[in-house]
A and B are shown apart, each in its own frame.
Chain A
Amino acid sequence: MNYLYVGMGGILGALARFCLGTAIQRITVTAFPYGTLTVNLLGSFLLGFITYGSLLKWQLPRPYVLAINTGIIGSFTTFSTFSVDTISLLEKAHYTAAWSYVLVSITGGLALAWLGIGLAHRLFINVKIRGDNQ
Chain B
Amino acid sequence: MKLPLLVAAGGFLGAICRFGLNNFIQARHHKSFPFGTFIINVTGSFLLGLLFACRHLSSEVLFFLGTGFLGAYTTFSTYELEAVELIRRGRTIISLIYLVISVVIGIIFAYIGYSLGNYFY
Residues of chain A touching chain B, judged by Cβ–Cβ distance below 8 Å, are 2-3, 6-15, 17-18, 40, 43-44, 46-48, 51, 66, 70-71, 73-84, 86-88, 102, 105-106, 109-110, 112-114, 117, 131-133
Contact = CB atoms under 8 A, between A and B. Distances in A.
A112 to B, nearest CB: 8
Interface in B64-121: 66-68, 70-81, 83-84, 88-90, 99, 102-103, 106-107, 109-111, 114
Contact of B72 (A75, A83, A88, A102): A75
Interface residues of B, number: 53
B88 A11 contact: no
Contacts of A88: 52
A75 B78 contact: no
Interface string B1-27: 001100111111111101110000000
B7 A14 contact: yes
B15 A113 contact: no
Contact of A84 (B8, B52, B89): B52
Given A3-B19, A70-B18, A75 B76 contact: no
A80 B73 contact: yes
11 contacts: A3-B19, A13-B72, A14-B14, A18-B7, A47-B81, A48-B80, A81-B48, A84-B114, A87-B107, A87-B111, A110-B80
Contacts of A76: 77
A70 B93 CA distance: 26
A109 B11 contact: no
A43 B11 CA distance: 16
Nearest to B7: A18
Contacts of A70: 15, 18-19, 78
Contact of B19 (A2, A48, A87): A2
Contacts of A43: 76-77
